[in-house]
Structure 1
Amino acid sequence: MTCLAIDTTGENCTAALRLSDGSERVLSDRIGRGHAERLAPMVEALLAETLTTPTSLSRIGVTVGPGSFAGTRVGAAFARGLALACNADCIGISNLAVLARQANSKGPLAVLHDAKRGEVIMQLWHNGVARAPERLGVGDLPARIADLGGPECAVTGSGAHLLPPGFIDLGVSTIDPAMMLAMTGELDARSNPPSPFYARPPDAKLPGGVTPA
């Protein structure tokens, strides 16, 4: 099975490929912005370098956030379009789930995404089972973590630095392409659609004050 995994939710534009023989190749650039212009040429170069035809792709995984609003939309739209053209399964991968697996915590774990504006998206994991993500104010985090995870709950993610001293920060905040590829191959495509997960609704409005879909 040949798998392609894409991440455009942060400052990096990343494409990773796992071939049917198990070998992997990753291209990643720290670009900040401009994912829409960089992603397609990067994927094209990755396929050409490995002599892989697009139609040989079995699965295409894409991180769906939370992360950059524009970057998340770019990645999800590109993955959907490519999967349709290649007749491949398209899998949406939660950034919070990737970081939780990378952290490999043996006890309760709170994965925290810094949503800015004094807010954090938190998802609590325990024994491999995740609660639904929550959006919280930074000031409410310590009590919520203690309530759900207890005193031994570790934390990780881009929002971990917002907590007061005393928490066990596992220091995982960057998506690992190898983990993306692993989850692309493992996750059920029907249960994990490539639907963006935004930290908050878009600020932009259509004429008449309508929020875009």
Structure 2
Amino acid sequence: MTGYDAILFDNDGVLVEPPAHETAVEATREAFEEVGVRDPNQAHVDDVVRGTTVDRLREMCAAYGVDVEAFWRARERLDEQSQFEKFESGSRTLYDDVQSVTNLDRPRGVVSNNHHSTVEFVLDFFGLRHAFDTYHGREKTVESLDLKKPNTHYLDRAVAELGAESALYVGDSESDVRAAHRAGLDSAFVRRPHCRETTLSVTPTHEIGSLRELAAVTDA
């Protein structure tokens, strides 16, 4: 489908470089330590970093006898703080093709699995707030884990706010493509360096190598 009346973008890996795995691991280990777990199982750390579910998180916290809400508050705070620090130090930055997004003459939005407040920080830090008509990230709550993509919860909200009937969602992961299709949207998979060799088990509507290619895709 072409003639899209709105374009939605993932944040991490599409607009800005994704967070380093090591940074997320460190923030997670610090969160465990903050609630009294000094040597967490590496599998538990990996589960949190890769993207856990509410049920799995509760199981992990029960195994250590710690309060799930207390652990998750610590993890979200430390994870967000670590992301802010990387942006402020310049070690994590905006992709150089993002400016081309402002030339797309239709409503635009951001929908991310990252924290809503982190998405807001990114848009303000890089002076991009004007470029998007809406943006949605995840609340820093345990319950929000089950609303992450490929769940369509935040995509649905953004599409409704934009009043879009035919939208395109641009992402860098299989879950982005799946979420788009479940929401009744077309998808564009952008092959950034970190996902250049990724093999997808679901077929995106479009594959692009740069956001600069979106003008041709959306005007075709």
Normalising by structure 2, we get a TM-score of 0.30
Determine which structure has the larger helix proportion and give its number: 2
More strand by share: 1
TM-score, normalised with respect to structure 1: 0.30
Asked which structure has the greater RCO (Cα within 8 Å, sep 6+), the reply is 2
